């Protein structure tokens, strides 16, 4: 890999890192402030499929699962794990404590599950590693967050579908990055 390609990889990594870190506090803020319907003493909701709603931060959490993998690919595992902690800490500034505890707990557990699946698979198949690790992460995140934040799983299918949409929408970008990395001889960090 040339010096130019290495620099490009680092710059892309820091762009992914910034986006990743910001998704979590923004998702937490959205849950209490932005949606097509806001449930009294509950979340603000958005539709994710006909007849199916989810707390409004769902799309950003789905994006976060993919962005974590991209941060790891560009900057390495340590950056990825550090970003999990930073994103969680920033959430305290924008959301109620009960929501932040639920979100940060779900975020940490789901991102660690994502990390555990993605890390061994990434060199065998980047796209499949992102999709599989994100699928595991979104299920863990949905189960833990809904139980801790609201005490029930009412929005479970909405959470899974909403996050799944973001993973599906990311596949063309992931494929493009993979082809370009292969063409330029760029290796994962």
Q: What does the pLDDT read at residue 103?
A: 84
For position 70, what pLDDT does the model report? 93
Instruction: Give tens-digit pLDDT for 92-122.
Output: 877 788 888 888 888 889 888 988 999 899 8
Is pLDDT above 80 for 187? no
CB under 8 Å to 145, separation ≥6 — which residues?
102, 103, 105, 106, 107, 159
Position 131 scores a pLDDT of 93
Q: Of the candidates 130, 22, 2, which has an alpha carbon nearest to the alpha carbon of residue 73?
A: 130
C-alpha–C-alpha distance, residues 120 and 11, integer Å:
24
Encode pLDDT of 120-150 as tens digits.
Answer: 998 888 899 999 999 999 999 999 999 998 8
CATH number of the domain residue 162 falls in: 1.10.1760
- What pLDDT was estimated at residue 184? 82
Residue 27 covered by a domain: yes
Question: For residue 97, is it within any domain?
Answer: yes
Nearest residue to 139 (alpha-carbon basis) of 159, 119, 118: 159
Question: Is 189 within the bounds of a domain?
Answer: no
pLDDT value of residue 155: 93
Which domain does 34 fall in, by range?
3-184
Burial of 186 per CB tally in 10 Å (0-12, 13-18, 19+): buried
The number of domains in the chain is 1
pLDDT digits (tens, 9 = 90+) for 30-72: 988 999 999 988 899 999 999 999 999 999 989 988 998 899 8
pLDDT grade, residue 1 (50/70/90)? low
């Amino acid at each position: 890999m040339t010096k130019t390609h290495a620099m490009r990889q680092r710059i892309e990594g820091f762009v992914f890192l910034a986006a990743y870190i910001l998704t979590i506090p923004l998702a937490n803020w959205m849950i209490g402030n932005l949606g097509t319907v806001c449930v009294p003493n509950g979340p603000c909701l958005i539709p994710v499929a006909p007849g199916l709603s989810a707390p409004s931060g769902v799309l950003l959490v789905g994006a976060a699962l993919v962005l974590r993998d991209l941060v790891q690919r560009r900057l390495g595992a340590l950056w990825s794990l550090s970003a999990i902690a930073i994103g969680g800490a920033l959430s305290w500034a924008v959301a109620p404590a009960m929501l932040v505890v639920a979100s940060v707990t779900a975020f940490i557990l789901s991102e660690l599950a994502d990390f555990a699946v993605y890390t061994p698979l990434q060199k065998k198949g980047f796209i499949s590693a992102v999709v599989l690790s994100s699928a595991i992460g979104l299920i863990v995140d949905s189960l833990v967050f809904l139980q801790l934040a609201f005490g029930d799983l009412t929005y479970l299918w909405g959470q899974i579908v909403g996050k799944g949409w973001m993973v599906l929408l990311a596949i063309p970008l992931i494929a493009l990055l993979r082809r370009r990395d292969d063409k330029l001889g760029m290796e994962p960090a």
